[in-house]
Amino acid sequence: MPERVEITVAESAGFCPGVKNAIDQVLELAKHRKKTIYTLGPLIHNKQVIETLKEQNIHAINSAAEIKDRGAILVIRAHGVTPEEEKKLRSLGLEVVDATCPLVKHAQENIRAHAAEGYSTIIVGDRDHAEVIGLMGYAAGRGHVVSGPEEAQKLPRLEKANIVAQTTQENEVFLAAVEEARKAAGELLVSNTICNPTRQRQKETIELSKDADLAIVVGGRNSANTARLFHICRRLAKKAVHIEKEDELKKAMFRGAAKVFITAGASTPTWMIEKVLEKARALAAGRSNRLLERLALGWKLVITGSLYTALAAAALTYVCMKLEGTPVSGKFPLMAGLFAFSLHMANRAAEKGAAAPDRARRLLFVKYAMQSRFAALICGMLAIFLSAATGWQVLLPAAFFWLLGMLYPCKLPLGLANFGYFPASKDILIALGWAFMCAGAPGLGQGGAMSNATQLAVFFAFLLVFTRSVLFGISHAHSDMITGKENFYKAAGPALTYLTLSFIFLLISATLITLKSMGWQPQLAAALLTGLLYYLGLLLFFYFSRIPERITAETLIDTQFMLLAALAYYS
Protein backbone atom coordinates (compact mmCIF):
# COMPACT_ATOMS: atom_id res chain seq x y z
CA MET A 1 0.00 0.00 0.00
CA PRO A 2 1.51 3.39 -1.02
CA GLU A 3 2.33 5.75 1.87
CA ARG A 4 0.13 8.48 0.43
CA VAL A 5 -3.01 7.75 -1.61
CA GLU A 6 -4.52 10.53 -3.71
CA ILE A 7 -8.31 10.25 -3.97
CA THR A 8 -10.17 12.44 -6.47
CA VAL A 9 -13.95 12.72 -6.71
CA ALA A 10 -15.54 13.84 -9.98
CA GLU A 11 -17.11 17.29 -9.66
CA SER A 12 -19.88 16.21 -12.04
CA ALA A 13 -20.85 13.18 -9.92
CA GLY A 14 -24.32 13.17 -8.35
CA PHE A 15 -27.90 13.70 -9.48
CA CYS A 16 -28.36 15.18 -12.94
CA PRO A 17 -30.92 18.03 -13.42
CA GLY A 18 -33.50 15.64 -14.90
CA VAL A 19 -33.38 13.37 -11.87
CA LYS A 20 -33.50 16.34 -9.49
CA ASN A 21 -36.54 17.68 -11.33
CA ALA A 22 -38.40 14.36 -11.16
CA ILE A 23 -37.66 13.87 -7.46
CA ASP A 24 -38.65 17.46 -6.65
CA GLN A 25 -41.99 16.98 -8.41
CA VAL A 26 -42.93 13.79 -6.59
CA LEU A 27 -41.81 15.21 -3.24
CA GLU A 28 -43.97 18.28 -3.66
CA LEU A 29 -46.90 15.97 -4.41
CA ALA A 30 -46.11 13.81 -1.36
CA LYS A 31 -45.90 16.84 0.94
CA HIS A 32 -49.14 18.49 -0.11
CA ARG A 33 -51.40 15.68 -1.29
CA LYS A 34 -52.82 12.81 0.74
CA LYS A 35 -53.11 10.52 -2.28
CA THR A 36 -50.84 7.55 -2.83
CA ILE A 37 -48.23 8.28 -5.49
CA TYR A 38 -47.08 5.72 -8.04
CA THR A 39 -44.27 6.04 -10.57
CA LEU A 40 -44.38 4.06 -13.79
CA GLY A 41 -41.17 2.15 -13.26
CA PRO A 42 -38.50 3.16 -10.74
CA LEU A 43 -38.19 6.95 -10.62
CA ILE A 44 -34.42 6.54 -10.84
CA HIS A 45 -32.09 3.55 -11.04
CA ASN A 46 -30.94 3.61 -7.43
CA LYS A 47 -32.25 1.10 -4.88
CA GLN A 48 -31.37 3.20 -1.84
CA VAL A 49 -33.21 6.28 -3.09
CA ILE A 50 -36.21 4.19 -4.14
CA GLU A 51 -36.40 2.77 -0.58
CA THR A 52 -36.23 6.31 0.79
CA LEU A 53 -39.08 7.40 -1.49
CA LYS A 54 -41.23 4.51 -0.27
CA GLU A 55 -41.13 6.10 3.19
CA GLN A 56 -42.75 9.15 1.57
CA ASN A 57 -45.60 6.98 0.17
CA ILE A 58 -44.10 7.01 -3.33
CA HIS A 59 -44.15 3.55 -4.93
CA ALA A 60 -42.71 2.21 -8.18
CA ILE A 61 -44.92 -0.05 -10.33
CA ASN A 62 -44.41 -1.79 -13.66
CA SER A 63 -47.87 -1.20 -15.06
CA ALA A 64 -50.83 1.08 -14.37
CA ALA A 65 -52.91 -2.12 -14.03
CA GLU A 66 -51.30 -2.59 -10.61
CA ILE A 67 -53.07 0.51 -9.28
CA LYS A 68 -56.31 -0.39 -7.50
CA ASP A 69 -56.94 3.05 -6.04
CA ARG A 70 -58.50 5.15 -8.79
CA GLY A 71 -57.87 8.30 -6.77
CA ALA A 72 -54.10 7.78 -6.85
CA ILE A 73 -51.49 9.88 -8.64
CA LEU A 74 -49.41 8.32 -11.41
CA VAL A 75 -46.09 9.93 -12.29
CA ILE A 76 -44.39 9.48 -15.64
CA ARG A 77 -40.72 9.25 -14.72
CA ALA A 78 -37.80 11.16 -16.26
CA HIS A 79 -37.29 8.57 -19.02
CA GLY A 80 -40.65 9.40 -20.61
CA VAL A 81 -43.13 7.13 -22.42
CA THR A 82 -44.50 6.74 -25.94
CA PRO A 83 -47.35 9.08 -27.02
CA GLU A 84 -49.69 6.08 -27.23
CA GLU A 85 -48.79 4.99 -23.69
CA GLU A 86 -49.31 8.50 -22.31
CA LYS A 87 -52.72 8.75 -24.02
CA LYS A 88 -53.72 5.39 -22.55
CA LEU A 89 -52.60 6.42 -19.05
CA ARG A 90 -54.59 9.64 -19.17
CA SER A 91 -57.73 7.73 -20.19
CA LEU A 92 -57.71 5.65 -16.99
CA GLY A 93 -59.14 8.39 -14.81
CA LEU A 94 -55.96 8.72 -12.78
CA GLU A 95 -54.25 11.99 -12.03
CA VAL A 96 -51.21 11.82 -14.30
CA VAL A 97 -48.13 13.95 -13.66
CA ASP A 98 -45.48 14.16 -16.38
CA ALA A 99 -41.96 14.28 -14.88
CA THR A 100 -40.16 13.53 -18.15
CA CYS A 101 -36.71 15.11 -18.23
CA PRO A 102 -36.81 18.31 -20.36
CA LEU A 103 -33.80 17.06 -22.32
CA VAL A 104 -35.60 13.79 -23.11
CA LYS A 105 -38.61 15.89 -24.13
CA HIS A 106 -36.34 17.78 -26.51
CA ALA A 107 -35.21 14.49 -28.08
CA GLN A 108 -38.84 13.35 -28.38
CA GLU A 109 -39.87 16.57 -30.12
CA ASN A 110 -36.84 16.37 -32.41
CA ILE A 111 -37.89 12.89 -33.56
CA ARG A 112 -41.56 13.88 -33.90
CA ALA A 113 -40.77 16.94 -36.04
CA HIS A 114 -38.47 15.09 -38.43
CA ALA A 115 -40.74 12.04 -38.63
CA ALA A 116 -43.54 14.36 -39.73
CA GLU A 117 -41.30 15.43 -42.64
CA GLY A 118 -40.83 11.82 -43.74
CA TYR A 119 -37.48 11.10 -42.11
CA SER A 120 -36.72 7.68 -40.71
CA THR A 121 -35.25 7.73 -37.20
CA ILE A 122 -32.05 6.03 -36.06
CA ILE A 123 -31.62 5.95 -32.28
CA VAL A 124 -28.19 5.11 -30.89
CA GLY A 125 -28.94 3.56 -27.52
CA ASP A 126 -30.02 0.53 -25.53
CA ARG A 127 -32.96 -1.14 -27.26
CA ASP A 128 -34.68 -2.21 -24.03
CA HIS A 129 -34.09 1.02 -22.08
CA ALA A 130 -37.24 2.90 -21.04
CA GLU A 131 -36.06 6.15 -22.63
CA VAL A 132 -35.34 4.49 -25.99
CA ILE A 133 -38.71 2.70 -25.97
CA GLY A 134 -40.35 6.07 -25.38
CA LEU A 135 -38.34 7.75 -28.15
CA MET A 136 -39.31 5.03 -30.62
CA GLY A 137 -42.94 5.96 -30.10
CA TYR A 138 -42.33 9.31 -31.79
CA ALA A 139 -40.74 7.82 -34.94
CA ALA A 140 -44.06 7.21 -36.74
CA GLY A 141 -43.24 3.54 -37.25
CA ARG A 142 -40.00 4.29 -39.09
CA GLY A 143 -37.56 3.86 -36.20
CA HIS A 144 -34.37 1.82 -35.92
CA VAL A 145 -32.31 1.24 -32.76
CA VAL A 146 -28.60 0.53 -32.88
CA SER A 147 -26.31 0.07 -29.89
CA GLY A 148 -23.24 1.38 -31.72
CA PRO A 149 -21.29 1.36 -34.98
CA GLU A 150 -21.37 -2.45 -35.33
CA GLU A 151 -25.16 -2.55 -35.46
CA ALA A 152 -25.27 0.61 -37.56
CA GLN A 153 -23.46 -1.35 -40.29
CA LYS A 154 -26.54 -3.60 -40.54
CA LEU A 155 -29.05 -0.78 -41.17
CA PRO A 156 -31.22 -1.12 -44.29
CA ARG A 157 -31.00 1.43 -47.09
CA LEU A 158 -32.81 4.61 -45.98
CA GLU A 159 -33.73 7.44 -48.35
CA LYS A 160 -33.46 10.09 -45.64
CA ALA A 161 -32.89 9.61 -41.95
CA ASN A 162 -32.44 11.52 -38.71
CA ILE A 163 -29.97 10.01 -36.25
CA VAL A 164 -30.34 10.82 -32.54
CA ALA A 165 -28.81 9.53 -29.31
CA GLN A 166 -30.16 8.22 -26.07
CA THR A 167 -29.49 11.24 -23.83
CA THR A 168 -26.98 9.30 -21.72
CA GLN A 169 -25.14 7.68 -24.64
CA GLU A 170 -21.34 7.73 -24.84
CA ASN A 171 -20.35 10.48 -27.28
CA GLU A 172 -17.63 8.45 -29.02
CA VAL A 173 -20.06 5.58 -29.64
CA PHE A 174 -22.63 7.98 -31.10
CA LEU A 175 -20.14 9.64 -33.45
CA ALA A 176 -18.84 6.27 -34.64
CA ALA A 177 -22.42 5.11 -35.28
CA VAL A 178 -23.07 8.30 -37.28
CA GLU A 179 -20.20 7.50 -39.65
CA GLU A 180 -21.57 4.02 -40.29
CA ALA A 181 -25.13 5.33 -40.72
CA ARG A 182 -23.98 7.72 -43.45
CA LYS A 183 -23.28 4.67 -45.62
CA ALA A 184 -26.89 3.50 -45.29
CA ALA A 185 -28.72 6.82 -45.76
CA GLY A 186 -29.07 8.92 -48.87
CA GLU A 187 -29.57 11.97 -46.63
CA LEU A 188 -28.58 11.91 -42.96
CA LEU A 189 -29.46 14.57 -40.40
CA VAL A 190 -27.32 14.35 -37.26
CA SER A 191 -29.12 15.38 -34.05
CA ASN A 192 -26.73 14.87 -31.17
CA THR A 193 -29.22 14.66 -28.31
CA ILE A 194 -26.71 13.56 -25.66
CA CYS A 195 -27.43 15.90 -22.75
CA ASN A 196 -24.81 18.35 -21.50
CA PRO A 197 -24.60 16.87 -17.97
CA THR A 198 -23.77 13.49 -19.55
CA ARG A 199 -21.15 15.07 -21.82
CA GLN A 200 -19.52 16.81 -18.86
CA ARG A 201 -19.60 13.66 -16.73
CA GLN A 202 -18.08 11.52 -19.48
CA LYS A 203 -15.43 14.12 -20.38
CA GLU A 204 -14.33 14.35 -16.76
CA THR A 205 -14.32 10.57 -16.44
CA ILE A 206 -12.11 10.18 -19.51
CA GLU A 207 -9.65 12.82 -18.29
CA LEU A 208 -9.32 11.57 -14.71
CA SER A 209 -9.52 7.81 -15.20
CA LYS A 210 -6.49 7.85 -17.53
CA ASP A 211 -4.13 8.42 -14.61
CA ALA A 212 -6.05 6.38 -12.03
CA ASP A 213 -4.69 3.17 -10.54
CA LEU A 214 -8.20 2.46 -9.31
CA ALA A 215 -11.47 3.92 -10.62
CA ILE A 216 -14.58 3.47 -8.49
CA VAL A 217 -17.93 3.94 -10.25
CA VAL A 218 -20.91 4.32 -7.90
CA GLY A 219 -24.45 3.66 -9.08
CA GLY A 220 -27.23 1.18 -9.70
CA ARG A 221 -26.31 -1.93 -11.64
CA ASN A 222 -29.35 -1.39 -13.88
CA SER A 223 -28.38 2.22 -14.63
CA ALA A 224 -27.36 2.65 -18.29
CA ASN A 225 -25.37 5.85 -17.79
CA THR A 226 -23.51 4.33 -14.82
CA ALA A 227 -22.65 1.28 -16.93
CA ARG A 228 -21.22 3.56 -19.61
CA LEU A 229 -19.05 5.35 -17.07
CA PHE A 230 -17.78 1.99 -15.85
CA HIS A 231 -17.04 0.98 -19.45
CA ILE A 232 -14.94 4.14 -19.89
CA CYS A 233 -13.08 3.58 -16.62
CA ARG A 234 -12.44 -0.08 -17.33
CA ARG A 235 -10.97 0.89 -20.68
CA LEU A 236 -8.71 3.69 -19.39
CA ALA A 237 -7.87 3.05 -15.71
CA LYS A 238 -5.50 0.35 -14.50
CA LYS A 239 -8.34 -1.16 -12.48
CA ALA A 240 -12.04 -0.28 -12.23
CA VAL A 241 -14.89 -1.44 -10.00
CA HIS A 242 -18.63 -0.77 -10.15
CA ILE A 243 -20.37 -0.63 -6.76
CA GLU A 244 -23.80 0.37 -5.48
CA LYS A 245 -22.86 0.98 -1.84
CA GLU A 246 -19.73 1.70 0.16
CA ASP A 247 -20.02 -1.73 1.83
CA GLU A 248 -18.86 -3.33 -1.43
CA LEU A 249 -15.41 -1.73 -1.16
CA LYS A 250 -12.68 -4.11 0.05
CA LYS A 251 -9.18 -3.39 1.28
CA ALA A 252 -7.67 -5.61 -1.43
CA MET A 253 -9.03 -3.28 -4.13
CA PHE A 254 -6.66 -0.53 -2.98
CA ARG A 255 -3.51 -2.67 -3.02
CA GLY A 256 -0.89 -0.80 -5.08
CA ALA A 257 -3.23 2.12 -5.82
CA ALA A 258 -1.56 5.53 -5.42
CA LYS A 259 -4.25 7.41 -7.37
CA VAL A 260 -7.94 6.65 -6.86
CA PHE A 261 -10.73 8.23 -8.90
CA ILE A 262 -14.39 8.16 -7.81
CA THR A 263 -17.29 9.00 -10.10
CA ALA A 264 -20.99 8.17 -10.11
CA GLY A 265 -24.01 7.88 -12.36
CA ALA A 266 -26.81 10.43 -12.72
CA SER A 267 -29.03 8.48 -10.29
CA THR A 268 -26.50 8.43 -7.45
CA PRO A 269 -27.05 11.04 -4.71
CA THR A 270 -24.06 12.97 -3.43
CA TRP A 271 -24.55 11.65 0.12
CA MET A 272 -23.88 8.14 -1.17
CA ILE A 273 -20.72 9.34 -2.93
CA GLU A 274 -19.59 10.96 0.33
CA LYS A 275 -20.03 7.66 2.17
CA VAL A 276 -18.00 5.88 -0.51
CA LEU A 277 -15.29 8.54 -0.18
CA GLU A 278 -15.20 8.13 3.60
CA LYS A 279 -14.89 4.34 3.29
CA ALA A 280 -12.26 4.65 0.54
CA ARG A 281 -10.13 6.94 2.70
CA ALA A 282 -10.26 4.47 5.58
CA LEU A 283 -9.33 1.51 3.40
CA ALA A 284 -6.63 3.40 1.51
CA ALA A 285 -5.00 4.40 4.79
CA GLY A 286 -4.20 0.74 5.36
CA ARG A 287 -5.35 0.74 8.95
CA SER A 288 -8.30 2.00 10.92
CA ASN A 289 -7.99 4.27 13.90
CA ARG A 290 -10.69 3.20 16.33
CA LEU A 291 -10.28 6.33 18.46
CA LEU A 292 -10.72 8.66 15.47
CA GLU A 293 -13.69 6.61 14.23
CA ARG A 294 -15.37 6.90 17.63
CA LEU A 295 -14.67 10.61 17.83
CA ALA A 296 -16.10 11.06 14.34
CA LEU A 297 -19.24 9.12 15.26
CA GLY A 298 -19.54 11.10 18.50
CA TRP A 299 -19.41 14.39 16.61
CA LYS A 300 -21.97 13.13 14.10
CA LEU A 301 -24.28 12.35 17.02
CA VAL A 302 -23.73 15.86 18.42
CA ILE A 303 -24.63 17.45 15.07
CA THR A 304 -27.40 15.07 14.01
CA GLY A 305 -28.79 15.01 17.54
CA SER A 306 -29.18 18.82 17.49
CA LEU A 307 -26.93 19.45 20.50
CA TYR A 308 -24.72 21.82 18.52
CA THR A 309 -27.86 23.56 17.29
CA ALA A 310 -28.94 24.11 20.89
CA LEU A 311 -25.52 25.60 21.73
CA ALA A 312 -25.79 27.86 18.66
CA ALA A 313 -29.19 29.16 19.81
CA ALA A 314 -27.86 29.77 23.32
CA ALA A 315 -24.84 31.61 21.89
CA LEU A 316 -27.03 33.82 19.71
CA THR A 317 -29.21 34.63 22.72
CA TYR A 318 -26.14 35.81 24.62
CA VAL A 319 -25.17 38.05 21.69
CA CYS A 320 -28.68 39.51 21.49
CA MET A 321 -28.78 40.21 25.23
CA LYS A 322 -25.51 42.09 24.94
CA LEU A 323 -26.85 43.99 21.92
CA GLU A 324 -30.02 44.92 23.82
CA GLY A 325 -28.05 46.06 26.83
CA THR A 326 -30.06 43.85 29.18
CA PRO A 327 -28.47 42.03 32.15
CA VAL A 328 -27.06 38.70 31.01
CA SER A 329 -29.01 35.83 32.55
CA GLY A 330 -28.44 32.13 31.97
CA LYS A 331 -32.19 31.49 31.92
CA PHE A 332 -32.77 32.91 28.45
CA PRO A 333 -29.90 31.12 26.65
CA LEU A 334 -31.09 27.89 28.31
CA MET A 335 -34.66 28.54 27.21
CA ALA A 336 -33.61 29.26 23.62
CA GLY A 337 -31.32 26.22 23.54
CA LEU A 338 -34.08 23.90 24.75
CA PHE A 339 -36.52 25.44 22.25
CA ALA A 340 -34.14 25.00 19.32
CA PHE A 341 -33.15 21.47 20.35
CA SER A 342 -36.78 20.40 20.69
CA LEU A 343 -37.93 21.64 17.28
CA HIS A 344 -34.78 20.72 15.42
CA MET A 345 -34.81 17.19 16.84
CA ALA A 346 -38.55 16.68 16.25
CA ASN A 347 -38.39 17.90 12.65
CA ARG A 348 -35.26 15.88 11.92
CA ALA A 349 -37.01 12.76 13.21
CA ALA A 350 -39.99 13.49 10.95
CA GLU A 351 -37.66 13.93 7.98
CA LYS A 352 -35.56 10.81 8.56
CA GLY A 353 -36.72 9.31 5.29
CA ALA A 354 -35.53 12.36 3.42
CA ALA A 355 -31.89 12.28 4.41
CA ALA A 356 -28.81 10.18 4.14
CA PRO A 357 -29.25 7.12 6.42
CA ASP A 358 -25.84 7.28 8.10
CA ARG A 359 -25.00 5.52 11.35
CA ALA A 360 -25.82 8.53 13.53
CA ARG A 361 -29.30 8.85 12.00
CA ARG A 362 -29.94 5.14 12.35
CA LEU A 363 -29.04 5.31 16.03
CA LEU A 364 -31.11 8.40 16.80
CA PHE A 365 -34.13 7.94 14.56
CA VAL A 366 -34.40 4.17 14.16
CA LYS A 367 -32.84 2.33 17.10
CA TYR A 368 -33.61 5.02 19.68
CA ALA A 369 -36.45 6.76 17.83
CA MET A 370 -38.85 6.81 20.79
CA GLN A 371 -36.19 8.13 23.16
CA SER A 372 -35.24 10.87 20.68
CA ARG A 373 -38.84 12.01 20.25
CA PHE A 374 -39.39 11.92 24.00
CA ALA A 375 -36.28 14.05 24.58
CA ALA A 376 -37.51 16.56 21.99
CA LEU A 377 -40.92 16.77 23.65
CA ILE A 378 -39.53 17.13 27.18
CA CYS A 379 -37.07 19.85 26.16
CA GLY A 380 -39.84 21.76 24.41
CA MET A 381 -42.06 21.58 27.46
CA LEU A 382 -39.18 22.76 29.66
CA ALA A 383 -38.66 25.73 27.34
CA ILE A 384 -42.36 26.63 27.59
CA PHE A 385 -42.25 26.18 31.39
CA LEU A 386 -39.32 28.58 31.66
CA SER A 387 -41.10 31.08 29.43
CA ALA A 388 -44.20 30.87 31.66
CA ALA A 389 -42.08 31.85 34.64
CA THR A 390 -40.97 34.92 32.69
CA GLY A 391 -44.45 36.29 32.01
CA TRP A 392 -47.41 35.86 29.69
CA GLN A 393 -45.93 38.21 27.08
CA VAL A 394 -43.11 35.67 26.61
CA LEU A 395 -45.18 32.53 27.23
CA LEU A 396 -47.80 33.10 24.52
CA PRO A 397 -45.41 33.75 21.58
CA ALA A 398 -43.05 31.00 22.77
CA ALA A 399 -45.89 28.47 22.94
CA PHE A 400 -47.20 29.65 19.58
CA PHE A 401 -43.86 29.25 17.78
CA TRP A 402 -43.17 25.91 19.45
CA LEU A 403 -46.56 24.44 18.47
CA LEU A 404 -46.20 25.83 14.96
CA GLY A 405 -42.78 24.22 14.66
CA MET A 406 -43.99 20.87 15.99
CA LEU A 407 -46.93 20.85 13.57
CA TYR A 408 -44.88 22.01 10.61
CA PRO A 409 -44.05 18.58 9.11
CA CYS A 410 -47.58 17.29 9.70
CA LYS A 411 -50.34 17.12 7.13
CA LEU A 412 -53.33 18.97 8.55
CA PRO A 413 -56.79 17.36 8.62
CA LEU A 414 -59.92 18.45 6.75
CA GLY A 415 -58.00 19.05 3.54
CA LEU A 416 -56.09 22.03 4.86
CA ALA A 417 -52.65 22.64 3.34
CA ASN A 418 -49.73 22.03 5.61
CA PHE A 419 -47.33 24.89 6.31
CA GLY A 420 -44.73 23.45 3.97
CA TYR A 421 -47.01 24.33 1.04
CA PHE A 422 -45.63 27.87 1.00
CA PRO A 423 -42.24 28.38 -0.68
CA ALA A 424 -39.39 29.10 1.78
CA SER A 425 -41.82 28.58 4.67
CA LYS A 426 -39.38 26.45 6.64
CA ASP A 427 -36.57 29.01 6.59
CA ILE A 428 -38.91 31.88 7.46
CA LEU A 429 -40.60 29.98 10.30
CA ILE A 430 -37.27 28.91 11.83
CA ALA A 431 -35.97 32.48 11.64
CA LEU A 432 -39.10 33.90 13.29
CA GLY A 433 -39.05 31.35 16.11
CA TRP A 434 -35.36 31.81 16.85
CA ALA A 435 -35.60 35.61 16.57
CA PHE A 436 -38.24 35.71 19.27
CA MET A 437 -36.62 33.19 21.61
CA CYS A 438 -33.07 34.56 21.21
CA ALA A 439 -33.87 38.28 21.14
CA GLY A 440 -37.54 39.01 21.80
CA ALA A 441 -37.89 36.89 24.92
CA PRO A 442 -34.89 38.41 26.79
CA GLY A 443 -36.07 41.94 26.00
CA LEU A 444 -39.69 41.33 26.98
CA GLY A 445 -38.78 39.17 29.95
CA GLN A 446 -36.51 41.77 31.53
CA GLY A 447 -37.89 45.02 30.16
CA GLY A 448 -41.55 44.21 29.85
CA ALA A 449 -41.85 46.01 26.51
CA MET A 450 -40.48 45.74 22.99
CA SER A 451 -37.89 48.53 23.20
CA ASN A 452 -35.99 49.90 20.20
CA ALA A 453 -32.94 47.90 21.29
CA THR A 454 -35.02 44.71 21.45
CA GLN A 455 -36.52 45.36 18.02
CA LEU A 456 -33.03 45.84 16.64
CA ALA A 457 -31.85 42.57 18.22
CA VAL A 458 -34.88 40.70 16.83
CA PHE A 459 -34.13 42.07 13.36
CA PHE A 460 -30.45 41.11 13.71
CA ALA A 461 -31.31 37.58 14.92
CA PHE A 462 -33.92 37.03 12.22
CA LEU A 463 -31.49 37.86 9.43
CA LEU A 464 -28.70 35.70 10.86
CA VAL A 465 -30.95 32.70 11.47
CA PHE A 466 -32.62 33.03 8.08
CA THR A 467 -29.16 32.97 6.53
CA ARG A 468 -28.25 29.91 8.63
CA SER A 469 -31.36 28.06 7.49
CA VAL A 470 -30.81 28.92 3.82
CA LEU A 471 -27.20 27.71 4.00
CA PHE A 472 -28.47 24.47 5.54
CA GLY A 473 -30.81 24.15 2.57
CA ILE A 474 -27.94 24.69 0.12
CA SER A 475 -25.89 22.04 1.91
CA HIS A 476 -28.74 19.53 1.83
CA ALA A 477 -29.47 20.21 -1.85
CA HIS A 478 -25.78 19.83 -2.68
CA SER A 479 -25.76 16.44 -0.96
CA ASP A 480 -28.86 15.44 -2.99
CA MET A 481 -30.84 14.96 0.21
CA ILE A 482 -34.54 14.82 -0.52
CA THR A 483 -35.99 18.25 0.23
CA GLY A 484 -38.71 20.41 -1.29
CA LYS A 485 -39.57 24.05 -1.92
CA GLU A 486 -40.12 24.72 1.78
CA ASN A 487 -36.42 25.60 1.56
CA PHE A 488 -35.61 29.02 0.10
CA TYR A 489 -32.82 27.60 -2.06
CA LYS A 490 -35.12 25.08 -3.71
CA ALA A 491 -37.87 27.66 -4.22
CA ALA A 492 -35.73 30.56 -5.44
CA GLY A 493 -32.86 28.85 -7.23
CA PRO A 494 -29.10 29.49 -6.87
CA ALA A 495 -28.89 32.97 -8.44
CA LEU A 496 -31.65 34.60 -6.36
CA THR A 497 -30.51 32.75 -3.23
CA TYR A 498 -26.95 34.07 -3.32
CA LEU A 499 -28.17 37.54 -4.31
CA THR A 500 -30.47 37.52 -1.25
CA LEU A 501 -27.73 36.31 1.09
CA SER A 502 -25.37 38.99 -0.23
CA PHE A 503 -28.01 41.64 0.40
CA ILE A 504 -28.53 40.35 3.95
CA PHE A 505 -24.78 40.55 4.57
CA LEU A 506 -24.72 44.17 3.38
CA LEU A 507 -27.83 45.00 5.43
CA ILE A 508 -26.43 43.58 8.68
CA SER A 509 -23.07 45.25 8.04
CA ALA A 510 -24.73 48.61 7.37
CA THR A 511 -26.79 48.27 10.56
CA LEU A 512 -23.73 47.54 12.70
CA ILE A 513 -21.74 50.37 11.07
CA THR A 514 -24.63 52.75 11.78
CA LEU A 515 -24.80 51.64 15.41
CA LYS A 516 -21.05 52.15 15.80
CA SER A 517 -21.18 55.64 14.27
CA MET A 518 -24.12 56.58 16.53
CA GLY A 519 -22.19 55.48 19.61
CA TRP A 520 -24.58 52.64 20.50
CA GLN A 521 -22.28 50.03 22.06
CA PRO A 522 -19.51 50.85 19.55
CA GLN A 523 -17.13 48.15 20.83
CA LEU A 524 -19.79 45.44 20.53
CA ALA A 525 -20.87 46.69 17.09
CA ALA A 526 -17.24 46.65 15.91
CA ALA A 527 -16.74 43.12 17.32
CA LEU A 528 -19.88 41.80 15.62
CA LEU A 529 -18.85 43.51 12.40
CA THR A 530 -15.56 41.63 12.58
CA GLY A 531 -17.49 38.41 13.13
CA LEU A 532 -19.38 39.01 9.90
CA LEU A 533 -16.17 38.31 8.01
CA TYR A 534 -16.76 34.66 8.91
CA TYR A 535 -20.25 35.00 7.38
CA LEU A 536 -18.75 36.46 4.21
CA GLY A 537 -16.13 33.70 3.99
CA LEU A 538 -18.81 31.03 4.43
CA LEU A 539 -20.97 32.64 1.76
CA LEU A 540 -18.10 32.74 -0.73
CA PHE A 541 -17.13 29.17 0.20
CA PHE A 542 -20.63 27.96 -0.68
CA TYR A 543 -20.96 30.19 -3.76
CA PHE A 544 -17.88 28.73 -5.39
CA SER A 545 -19.26 25.20 -4.85
CA ARG A 546 -16.80 24.24 -2.16
CA ILE A 547 -19.64 22.85 -0.09
CA PRO A 548 -18.42 20.07 2.26
CA GLU A 549 -20.40 17.03 3.34
CA ARG A 550 -23.39 17.52 5.64
CA ILE A 551 -21.77 17.14 9.08
CA THR A 552 -18.89 19.50 8.25
CA ALA A 553 -21.23 21.99 6.58
CA GLU A 554 -23.59 22.12 9.56
CA THR A 555 -20.63 22.50 11.92
CA LEU A 556 -19.24 25.42 9.93
CA ILE A 557 -22.63 27.13 9.66
CA ASP A 558 -23.50 26.99 13.37
CA THR A 559 -19.97 27.90 14.45
CA GLN A 560 -20.69 31.48 13.35
CA PHE A 561 -22.89 31.91 16.44
CA MET A 562 -20.17 30.59 18.76
CA LEU A 563 -17.73 33.03 17.18
CA LEU A 564 -20.11 35.98 17.58
CA ALA A 565 -20.71 35.06 21.23
CA ALA A 566 -16.96 34.91 21.89
CA LEU A 567 -16.45 38.32 20.25
CA ALA A 568 -19.37 39.76 22.23
CA TYR A 569 -17.92 38.39 25.47
CA TYR A 570 -14.53 40.05 24.95
CA SER A 571 -15.86 43.32 23.56
Catalytic residues: 131
The H-assigned helical ranges of 366-521 are 369-390, 392-407, 425-435, 441-447, 452-478, 488-492, 494-518
- Looking at the DSSP bridge assignments, the partners of residue 214 are 260
The H-assigned helical ranges of 166-268 are 171-182, 196-209, 224-236
74 membership: H or E segment, kind and range: strand 73-76
Query: C-alpha 455: how far from its chain's center?
Result: 35
CA distances from 185 to 119, 141, 182, 222, 565 (A): 10, 17, 5, 33, 73
Q: How far apart are CA 98 and CA 458, in angstroms?
A: 44
Q: How far apart are CA 334 and CA 317, in angstroms?
A: 9
Contacting residues for 363 by C-beta, under 8 A, at least 6 apart: 301
Question: Of 482, 486, 553, nearest to 272 (Cα)?
Answer: 482
Contact (Cβ atoms closer than 8 angstroms) between residue 342 and residue 402: yes
* Residue count (the chain): 571
- Looking at the DSSP bridge assignments, the partners of residue 96 are 74
Contact (Cβ atoms closer than 8 angstroms) between residue 34 and residue 411: yes
Contact (Cβ atoms closer than 8 angstroms) between residue 354 and residue 23: no
Q: Three-class SS of residue 326?
A: coil
CA distances from 548 to 222, 471, 477 (A): 29, 12, 12
b (16+ CB within 10 A) / e for 178-203: bebbeebbeebbebebbbebbeebbe
